Amino acid sequence: MINLETPKKHRMLIDQAHQVAMNMLRPISRKYDQAEHEYPKELDMLAAMIDGLSDSGAGEGAGASGVKREDEPKDEGGVKNGANLASVMSIAEMCWGDTGLLLSMPRQGLGNSAIASVADEEQQKRYEGTWAAMAITEPSTGSDSASITTTARLDGDEYVLNGEKIFVTSGDRADSVVVWATLDKSLGRAAIKSFVVKKGNPGMKVERLEHKLGIRASDTAVITFTDCRVPAEDLLGSPEIDVKQGFAGAMATFDNTRPLVAAMAVGCARASLDLTRDLLQQAGIEIDYDRPAQLQSAAAAKFLQMEADWEAAQLLTMQAAWMADNRKPNSLEASMAKAKAGRVGSDITLSCVELAGSVGYSEMELLEKWSRDSKILDIFEGTQQIQLLIIARRILGLTSAELR
């Protein structure tokens, strides 16, 4: 049975993440928001610290472990609080500091989660230590990952990739990019595989970096692939096309990354709530948890409602990660966590700006920045609408062809 308390063995890691967020990320948050596309060099020292923890065996949760679909679910007596739960809790703390900087962390890219989820044991070892971005979205596909048009054609012992990817987080800075491409368009989503393409590979070109509303510390790239040759051994997992299994490899990646994105939204929203509570108290507005909301000021009542929404998002996120640790199918819960946290994160951060008035709208505080940063967390890794569609399919037992 899931225990919703912070596991004792993870408390030190989470406390360390909070200290890093407060003392290392918050102080440079505004600097790199304004200096868009400039690499935050301070993160190199932080990455070295995380590597040291991992080498010592004390850093479980510094990055999420993969959700392997072929793994057998644990029996009810084998409850485990592992790296996935530690990851979402520590990521939430880091995003309490700054979401854009967290997304800029070396060797902690979304592509690393894809490798952890899909790569075989030999590949896991070979890619250890790499910083991998993830390239899914295309100009004509948006959140419909099954409609990918980037192609991968086998030529001898290499695959030849052709296509264009947009909105690639860390696409310029990362050591490699996990690229989703189809081996055969006629076979639909079952033919979609992921490839690790190393930086500097001929045929791969970063066309431009996007200017964005939020997470401006993180680089977001457009990348093209023109007859880009990739060794066959860099196809993640099995090269066989299993029509029965369909999109399972790709979905295993989403089952891993969606709780991580939900955790980012939880952390960013918590930062807004904490600061707003302080600002309200400075204005003489007390929030009394022992009195009904209707007997308090409108501002206090609104704050209590936001905290309730926040806690629901946090618990859903923890549940999805806990299920992954215990090798329980978590596709439904991952989408529920992403949908709830993404929407709640945007609602809370913007509402906090409104409650704080002119202070919230100005750059005197970080509230306006957090409201900008949080919006992307309701969009990437599958939009709010896509998550609700997935949830409906899971609950009703319908396929993507039956419910569009």
Bridge partners of 220, per DSSP, are: 169
Q: 135 with 199: CB under 8 angstroms? A: no
Q: Is 140 exposed, middle or buried (0-12, 13-18, 19+ CB in 10 A)?
A: exposed
Q: Give the strand pairing for 176-182 and 132-135.
A: parallel
Distance CA 290, CA 173 (A): 49
Bridge partners of 231, per DSSP, are: 158
Q: 191 with 180: CB under 8 angstroms? A: no
Alpha-carbon separation of residue 239 from 156, 164, 183 (angstroms): 14, 22, 9
Tokens of 287: 């929030």
Distance CA 286, CA 275 (A): 14
Q: Which of 168, 181, 147, 178 is nearest to 223 (CA)?
A: 168
Q: 292 with 154: CB under 8 angstroms? A: no
Q: Cα-Cα-Cα-Cα dihedral of 169, 172, 177, 180, to 10°?
A: 60
Q: Residue 381 catalytic?
A: yes
Residues 6+ apart with CB under 8 A from 312: 340, 344
How many of the other CB atoms lie within 10 Å of CB of 162? Answer: 16
Cα angle 31, 380, 5 (rounded to 5 degrees) comes to 85
Catalytic residue among 138, 164, 368, 381, which?
381
Q: What are phi and psi of 235, to 5 degrees?
A: -80, 125
Q: 339 with 391: CB under 8 angstroms? A: yes
Distance CA 262, CA 256 (A): 11
Catalytically active residues are 381
